[in-house]
């Protein structure tokens, strides 16, 4: 009985100490690396994602969106902290058996260091993760054991002061880590008067509707496989054109900037979004034509296909033809690309789903044989042309008693010819107003329809016709595997 009690009370604080040690390792790693791929949580999230079944990752990343990323992040933290706690508990009990107090300290420090150094490839920064848990275990094993009557009170004091120290350490680590997170991208392009003018024009064309983005999105969505975006400085960025080529070509950022640039509006849409989802946005992009650069290398592969690779390990494969009119973009809305949208350089392949718009691009590989891209390996077919869609996001009451419904319509390079609205569940249709097209070859249009409400609840349905005269298909399908289809409808009161 008493033996049992001793063991439990022995094990419990060690587990708590282990969890605290693990937590300080996370804080220490963040302080050393900032929010970069060298922060230990990055490789752990990558590992969880790549070893989880495709159905799980598909729904986490594509459907849960940023919440999924948060869950993934928290489970990575939990896994890492749990691993260190296990290391502390295990080495502590071994140390007790061998009567060696240094063992858990050394094992925790060395074990954490080795793990972080190996997974991040940053042995020096890994010290930031390894020293704090080592120190926690050292304090624990060297703390004087107290006689029983005094133990309760002084343990309470110990717990309290440890808690305060831990909170202080966390706050300081967080502050240091934030300062060490590089601030990359997003600054205004040196010469951006032309872009400002184009943006001004787009603002004038926009319908202003509550509930729907203007023609140039204010909040451009992001979809990332990785939890932490790569940190590639423009000074160290380069792009290599490799594989089945006559001669490899390597380009740096200044090479791109020295070429004649193109400015163009372009819409991106994620194949994984819901039919009426919000992962479809438009920006003004600045970059250089990509096809000429690939031609320079003399591609001679047998499949007429290419694989684009990126700094986060992402890759996509698609036919060479798709490179026609594609851009290597370094600017977004008159600024350098923000880090989250691929700073310093991303690909823009007109008419195709968002997934082939590879961010943080590092390599273009000309292939001999067709291969699967990152998402295709998980069962998606997101490399083809986009589906036609008209979304319904704005439902507003106008001052004059009429209703206003509106949103965006998009059909890739086919363009949008017409949007029709039904306010009686699809029995009768009326043409909606459309915004003037933006300067680009792959852009959405806004649509708007104002009407006298019939009184009471009614069903609004919307459908688009693309520039080739094809009506948006009415058959409903899920986004998986090749994009949601159907007509968006909404019950309006
Ligand atoms: N390197 C890299 N490129 C990427 C991704 C990624 O995870 N890594 N996600 C793709 C997907 S699925 C989409 S929909 C678009 C989204 O681009 P955005 O984040 O700029 O909106 O980027 C694509 N390019
Ligand atoms: Mo996507």
The answer to whether residue 187 sits within a structural domain is: no
CA distance 267 to 210: 20
Residues 198 and 88 in one domain: no
Closest Cα to atom 15 of ligand 1: 354
335 strand-pairing partners: 188, 332
Residues 342 and 291 in one domain: yes
Q: What is the pLDDT, as a whole number, of residue 2?
A: 46
User: What is the average per-residue pLDDT within 84-92?
Assistant: 96
Q: Is 358 in the pocket of ligand 1 (CB under 6 A)?
A: yes
> 328 vs 247, 297, 346, CA distance in Å?
20, 16, 6
Atom of ligand 1 nearest to the CA of 271: 14
Contacts of 199 (CB under 8 A, 6+ apart): 216, 284, 333, 334
Q: Where does a domain end: 148, 180, 212? A: 180
Question: Dihedrals φ, ψ of 342, to 5°?
Answer: 115, 15
The answer to whether residue 260 sits within a structural domain is: yes
The answer to whether residue 185 sits within a structural domain is: no
Closest CA to 252 of 274, 276, 232: 232
Both structure tokens of 374: 């990152």
Question: Beta-carbon neighbour count of residue 452 at 10 Å?
Answer: 10
Under the banding of pLDDT at 50, 70 and 90, the label for residue 34 is: very high
Q: What is the pLDDT, as a whole number, of residue 4?
A: 46
Under the banding of pLDDT at 50, 70 and 90, the label for residue 151 is: low
Closest Cα to atom 19 of ligand 1: 222
Under the banding of pLDDT at 50, 70 and 90, the label for residue 68 is: confident
Residues 365 and 437 in one domain: no
Residues 92 and 202 in one domain: no
DSSP string, 457-475: -EEEEEEEEETTSPBPP--
Q: What is the pLDDT, as a whole number, of residue 54?
A: 80
Give the dihedral of Cα atoms 147, 89, 26, 231; nearest 10 deg. 160
- If one compares 352 and 150, the residue with the highest pLDDT of the two is 352
Both structure tokens of 417: 């010819």
Separation of 76 CA from ligand 2 center, angstroms?
Answer: 23
Q: Is 355 in the pocket of ligand 1 (CB under 6 A)?
A: yes
Contacts of 278 (CB under 8 A, 6+ apart): 221, 393
Residues 369 and 451 in one domain: no
Under the banding of pLDDT at 50, 70 and 90, the label for residue 434 is: very high
The CATH code of the domain that includes 310 is 3.90.420.10
Query: Is there a contact between 62 and 270 (Cβ–Cβ < 8 Å)?
Result: yes
Separation of 84 CA from ligand 1 center, angstroms?
Answer: 33
The DSSP 8-state label assigned to residue 352 in this structure reads B
Both structure tokens of 397: 């009451």
Contacts of 410 (CB under 8 A, 6+ apart): 267, 269, 280, 386, 388, 389, 416, 443, 444, 445, 464
Task: Say if strands 445-451 and 488-492 run parallel, antiparallel, or are unpaired.
Answer: unpaired
Under the banding of pLDDT at 50, 70 and 90, the label for residue 10 is: low
CA distance 337 to 350: 18
Q: Where does a domain end: 330, 353, 378? A: 378
Is the pLDDT reported for residue 9 higher than 60?
no
Residues 226 and 140 in one domain: no
**Ligand nearest to the CA of residue 230, numbered in listed order:** 1
CA distance 321 to 306: 10
Under the banding of pLDDT at 50, 70 and 90, the label for residue 50 is: confident
The answer to whether residue 266 sits within a structural domain is: yes
**Residue 166 belongs to what H/E stretch?**
helix 148-180
Separation of 269 CA from ligand 2 center, angstroms?
Answer: 7
CA distance 71 to 119: 21
Q: Biggest alpha carbon distance in the chain?
A: 87
Under the banding of pLDDT at 50, 70 and 90, the label for residue 57 is: confident
Q: What is the pLDDT, as a whole number, of residue 382?
A: 86
Q: Is 329 in the pocket of ligand 1 (CB under 6 A)?
A: no
Is the pLDDT reported for residue 341 higher than 50?
yes
Give me the number of domains the chain comprises: 3
Residues 152 and 204 in one domain: no
Residues 343 and 411 in one domain: no
Is the pLDDT reported for residue 322 higher than 70?
yes
Residues 9 and 156 in one domain: yes
Q: Where does a domain end: 347, 378, 409? A: 378
Q: Is 223 in the pocket of ligand 1 (CB under 6 A)?
A: yes
Residues 312 and 204 in one domain: yes
Is the pLDDT reported for residue 5 higher than 60?
no
Is the pLDDT reported for residue 1 higher than 50?
no
> 395 vs 198, 218, 281, 405, 465, CA distance in Å?
28, 19, 19, 5, 21
The answer to whether residue 161 sits within a structural domain is: yes
State the residue range of the domain holding 174: 2-180
Separation of 277 CA from ligand 2 center, angstroms?
Answer: 12
Residues 87 and 222 in one domain: no
Q: Is 330 in the pocket of ligand 1 (CB under 6 A)?
A: no
* b/e map 330-368, b = 16+ CB within 10 Å: bbbbbbbbbbebbbbbbbbbbbbbbbbbbbbbbbbbbbe
The CATH code of the domain that includes 411 is 2.60.40.650
Separation of 271 CA from ligand 2 center, angstroms?
Answer: 5
Three-state SS at 321: helix
The DSSP 8-state label assigned to residue 326 in this structure reads -
User: What is the average per-residue pLDDT within 13-31?
Assistant: 96
Under the banding of pLDDT at 50, 70 and 90, the label for residue 65 is: low
Separation of 269 CA from ligand 1 center, angstroms?
Answer: 10
User: What is the average per-residue pLDDT within 382-398?
Assistant: 95
Is the pLDDT reported for residue 94 higher than 80?
yes
Closest CA to 239 of 329, 162, 135: 329
User: What is the average per-residue pLDDT within 170-183?
Assistant: 95
Report the chain's mean pLDDT, rounded to a whole number: 93
Atom of ligand 1 nearest to the CA of 313: 1
Q: Is 314 in the pocket of ligand 1 (CB under 6 A)?
A: yes
Separation of 378 CA from ligand 2 center, angstroms?
Answer: 13
Q: What is the pLDDT, as a whole number, of residue 61?
A: 60
Closest CA to 440 of 287, 255, 235: 287
Residues 46 and 141 in one domain: yes
The answer to whether residue 186 sits within a structural domain is: no
Q: Is 337 in the pocket of ligand 1 (CB under 6 A)?
A: no
Q: Which of 230, 332, 359 to mutate to test the pocket of ligand 1 (most atoms within 8 A of CB)?
A: 359
The answer to whether residue 384 sits within a structural domain is: no
The answer to whether residue 110 sits within a structural domain is: yes
Predicted structure pTM score: 0.91
- pLDDT tens digits for range 240-299: 999 999 999 999 999 999 999 999 999 999 998 999 999 999 999 999 999 999 999 999
């Amino acid at each position: 009985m008493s033996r049992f009690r001793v063991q439990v009370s022995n094990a419990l604080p060690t587990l708590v100490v282990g969890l605290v040690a693990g937590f300080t390792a996370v804080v220490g790693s963040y302080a050393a690396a900032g929010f970069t791929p060298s922060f230990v949580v990055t490789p752990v999230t990558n590992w969880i994602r790549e070893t989880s079944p495709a159905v799980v990752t598909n729904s986490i990343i594509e459907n849960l969106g940023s919440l999924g990323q948060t869950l993934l992040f928290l489970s990575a933290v939990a896994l890492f902290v749990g691993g260190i706690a296990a290391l502390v508990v295990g080495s502590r009990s071994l140390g007790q058996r061998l009567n060696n107090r240094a063992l858990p300290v050394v094992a925790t420090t060395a074990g954490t260091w080795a793990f972080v150094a190996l997974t991040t490839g940053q042995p020096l920064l890994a010290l930031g993760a390894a020293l704090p848990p080592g120190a926690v275990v050292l304090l624990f094993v060297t703390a004087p054991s107290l006689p029983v009557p005094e133990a309760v009170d002084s343990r309470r004091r110990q717990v309290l002061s440890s808690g305060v120290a831990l909170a202080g350490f966390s706050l300081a680590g967080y502050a240091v880590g934030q300062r060490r997170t590089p601030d990359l991208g997003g600054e205004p392009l040196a010469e951006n008067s032309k872009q400002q003018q184009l943006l001004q024009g787009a603002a004038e064309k926009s319908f202003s509707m509550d509930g729907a983005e203007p023609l140039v999105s204010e909040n451009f969505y992001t979809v990332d496989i990785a939890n932490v975006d790569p940190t590639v400085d423009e000074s160290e960025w380069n792009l290599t054109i490799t594989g089945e080529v006559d001669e490899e070509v390597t380009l740096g950022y200044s090479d791109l900037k020295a070429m004649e640039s193109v400015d163009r509006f372009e819409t991106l849409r994620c194949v994984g979004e819901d039919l009426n989802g919000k992962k479809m946005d438009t920006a003004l992009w600045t970059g250089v034509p990509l096809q000429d650069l690939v031609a320079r290398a003399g591609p001679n592969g047998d499949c007429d296909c290419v694989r684009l690779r990126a700094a986060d390990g992402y890759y996509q494969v698609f036919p060479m033809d798709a490179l026609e009119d594609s851009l290597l973009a370094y600017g977004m809305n008159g600024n350098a690309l923000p880090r989250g949208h691929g700073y310093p350089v991303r690909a823009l392949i007109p008419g195709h789903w968002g997934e082939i718009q590879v961010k943080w691009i590092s390599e273009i590989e000309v292939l001999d044989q067709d291969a699967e891209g990152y998402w295709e390996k998980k069962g998606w077919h997101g490399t083809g042309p986009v589906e036609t869609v008209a979304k319904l996001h704005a439902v507003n009451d106008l001052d004059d008693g009429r209703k206003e419904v509106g949103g965006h319509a998009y059909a890739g390079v086919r363009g949008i010819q017409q949007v029709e609205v039904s306010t009686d569940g699809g029995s009768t249709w009326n043409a909606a107003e459309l915004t003037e097209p933006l300067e680009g070859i792959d852009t959405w249009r806004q649509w708007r329809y104002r009407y006298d409400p019939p009184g009471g609840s009614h069903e609004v349905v919307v459908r688009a016709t693309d520039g080739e005269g094809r009506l948006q298909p009415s058959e409903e399908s899920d986004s998986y595997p090749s994009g949601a289809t159907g007509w968006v409808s909404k019950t309006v009161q």
